[in-house]
Amino acid sequence: AEIAGIFQTIDNAASQITAPDTSLPKIKILIHARSKWITELIVEYIEKEQSNNFIISNDYGNREINDYGIIIDEPSEKYSHWEHFVLSIERICVKASVNNPLVGKTLYFHQLENQPFILPSIGNGMRKRYENACKRNNIKEQIVVECNDRQCLHQYVSSGIGLTIGSFRSLGDATQQNIAAVNVIDFDEIQTVCVFFKKNKQQDFHLKKLCDYLYSKRIL
């Protein structure tokens, strides 16, 4: 009986190590920038750790940010009380189908006044850049497709339906083989993406572990 009790104690200890701690609340993550890349990193992290302690949202709509433990977004005053680190700094450009006659020309943004654009919904950083550029140049917005699915968005652009705005580096992605940068000399934009986080005693270990992993993947 005594030996059986010892083995039972060992089994209980092992189960505590291998089984997920369901008593801990899951860490809520809100992704508002670089969604494809961040998704790939999180999936890679979950596979590496063999555990999933997260609830993830890619919604660009208004959210109560204090509901989240980690937010990945561009800098904003609304995150002024959050701890953070810079995850990536990248050049942003106007993009079009490689067959678009604008590719290879040197243009000013106001010359795109009548060009149709394909962009994510309101709240997305690329959408904001387009809206701000239109205001600066006193031209009317021409959004013909609103699409939050990155793959579908690039399919629309590849087909020649319209232009978009996005990371210059991502032109190397397989989904953007038929897309090229348009040389708009007064649209010289840089996107800075940060990981914003709030420490929580119940979640500190898992939160720090994910933040450390993301920090190791920075592109600066």
Where does the pLDDT of residue 155 fall: very low under 50, low under 70, confident under 90, or very high at 90 and above?
very high
Please name which of 213, 162, 31 lies closest in space to residue 154, comparing C-alpha atoms. 162
**157 and 165 in contact (C-beta within 8 Å)?**
no
Q: Which of 30-34, 100-104, 110-114, 156-160 has the lowest mean pLDDT?
A: 30-34
pLDDT score for 52: 84
Among 115, 122, 72, 124, smallest CA distance to 94 is for 115
CB atoms within 10 A of CB 15: 9
- Mean pLDDT (whole number) for 197-211: 81
Confidence tier at 59 by pLDDT (50, 70, 90): confident
